[in-house]
Structure 1
Amino acid sequence: MKILAIDTSNDCLGIALISEEKIIGEYITNIKKNHSVRVMPAIERLLSDCETQTSDLSKIVVAQGPGSYTGVRIGVTIAKTMAWSLEIPLVGVSSLAVLAAAPRYFTGYLCPLFDARRGLIYTGLYKYENGVLTNVLEDRNILASEWAKTLQSYHEPILFIGNDVPIHKDTFQVTLEEKAIFAQIPEQNPRPGELGMLGKNLPAVDVHSFTPNYLRLVEAEAKWLEKQERTND
């Protein structure tokens, strides 16, 4: 079994090839460049270096969002196209879960986040229970200040993970004080190998109806709906 994992949901571009026994190869960059022109060459290079043909693939796992509207859409579109053309299963995994998956050593709560601008973040609360990553509070789009208040009721330490954590670090430190722990730089990038492992045993979704999980309307859609509401008043 060989699984291809694709993550273009944020600035990090991640591609991985995994098997039942190991992560065969990973490609990760953390640069603000157009994923649409880089993702297919990255896939081709990784498969070539790992001496794997697309016909050898048995499943596609994609980071379904949240994150960059354009980035999520690119990854999901490519994953759907490959799964449909190769006639293999497709699985979607939360982009936040991918971030939360790596720090298995941490016994408290795991809080992955992506910045969503204007004080908002994409986030959720996770925890490893008996070796399994569990979603304690569902993924959401929320003000960082409100999220910090929500987390006050949890008594164990909380590890904040993600390249955008420094943007909101002060908010969490002020509200949560010593409960707020911050991941080290090597842990901030979501690893595509973790994405593949998370999706390895998940049931396949319907390729045609599978859609990104944006967690909120894009700005253009929100403005359009607001305009329609004013017109109908």
Structure 2
Amino acid sequence: MIWLGIDTANSPLSVAIVKDDVLLIEESSMMKVNHSLRAMPAVEEACRKASIMPYEIDAIAVSEGPGSYTGVRIGVTIAKTLAWTLDKPLYGVSSLKSLAMNGQFFYGLICPLIDARRSNVYSAVYRATSGDLAAVMEDQHCALEELLEKLKKLAEPVLFVGEDVKLHESVIRENLGDQVLFASFAMNVPRASSAIALAQLAEQAEKVHTFTPQYKRITEAEANLVKKESAHE
């Protein structure tokens, strides 16, 4: 079985092809590139290098968010278009859980983190289990201080994973002290092969037409509407 994996949920771009549980190719870049220009060519290049024709792909895995609004939307749009035109099953996986897979052999809590600006983050907390990750805290958009307070109460070692962790490292250290560990730069790169590995554990594929990104955050327009309705109550 041949899988195509796509992860454009944040600044990094990752594309992978796995055949019969063998990774044929994976190309990841931490460069802040324009996904609208680079994502589809990256998929085409991966297929060419792996000598795989698009029609040979059996299933597609995509990082569904949370993360960059534009990045998530581009990856999901490409995956849906390919799944529809090739008539292949589509599987969406959490971008945070996929990132957390980089720390799956850590004995303790694994906390993937993506910056959401204004001292907010997209994050979750997982614990490694046999072949998977169990959610201790579900994917969420929250204030960094709120996340750190919850982690402090758990009183367990925490491994932070993700390129954006360095933006908040001093605050994290200040709040968690010896409880915290930071992944190396090599472990902070999102991997499309991890998205594939998680998709293989899914019970069923997505409905392509109705599949939507999981932003975990309401839009500014929705937030303003909520404020307006609250003001009139």
- Give 1:216's aligned residue: 217
- Give 2:120's aligned residue: 120
What secondary structure does 2:123 align onto? strand
- Give 1:165's aligned residue: 165
CA RMSD for the aligned pairs?
Answer: 1.5
- Give the letter for the 1:97 counterpart: K
The superposition leaves residues 56-87 of structure 1 with CA deviations (integer Å, 9 ceiling, x where unpaired) of 01101000000010111111111111111111
- Give the letter for the 2:42 counterpart: A
2:169 corresponds to 1:177: no
Contact 1:148 1:171 in 2 (8 A): no
Looking at structure 2, the residues matched to 231 and 122 of structure 1 have their Cα atoms a distance apart, in angstroms, of 28
- Give 2:155's aligned residue: 155
- Give 1:28's aligned residue: 28
Query: What stretches of structure 1 move > 3 A for 4+ residues in a row?
Result: 230-233
Higher alpha-carbon deviation: 18-27 or 65-74: 18-27
Contact 2:91 2:205 in 1 (8 A): yes
Looking at structure 2, the residues matched to 21 and 31 of structure 1 have their Cα atoms a distance apart, in angstroms, of 28
Query: Alpha carbons of 1:151 and 1:88: their partners in 2 closer, same or farther (altered >3 Å)?
Result: same
Contact 1:69 1:218 in 2 (8 A): no
- Give 2:188's aligned residue: 188
What secondary structure does 1:110 align onto? strand
Gap regions ≥5 residues in structure 2: none
- Shift of residue 49 of structure 1? 0.5
Looking at structure 1, the residues matched to 153 and 199 of structure 2 have their Cα atoms a distance apart, in angstroms, of 31
Looking at structure 2, the residues matched to 90 and 197 of structure 1 have their Cα atoms a distance apart, in angstroms, of 13
Gap regions ≥5 residues in structure 1: none
Contact 1:3 1:200 in 2 (8 A): no
- Shift of residue 231 of structure 1? 8.3
Query: Alpha carbons of 1:231 and 1:158: their partners in 2 closer, same or farther (altered >3 Å)?
Result: closer
Task: List aligned pairs for 1:16-55, cutoff 5 A.
Answer: 16-55=16-55
- Give the letter for the 2:99 counterpart: L
Query: Alpha carbons of 1:231 and 1:126: their partners in 2 closer, same or farther (altered >3 Å)?
Result: closer
Contact 1:157 1:179 in 2 (8 A): yes
Q: How many residues align?
A: 232
Looking at structure 1, the residues matched to 145 and 20 of structure 2 have their Cα atoms a distance apart, in angstroms, of 41
- Shift of residue 174 of structure 1? 1.6
- Shift of residue 201 of structure 1? 3.4
- Shift of residue 227 of structure 1? 6.8
What secondary structure does 2:60 align onto? strand
Looking at structure 1, the residues matched to 33 and 145 of structure 2 have their Cα atoms a distance apart, in angstroms, of 30
TM-score (norm 2): 0.95
Contact 1:124 1:139 in 2 (8 A): yes
Looking at structure 1, the residues matched to 201 and 56 of structure 2 have their Cα atoms a distance apart, in angstroms, of 18
Query: Alpha carbons of 1:103 and 1:231: their partners in 2 closer, same or farther (altered >3 Å)?
Result: closer
TM-score (norm 1): 0.95
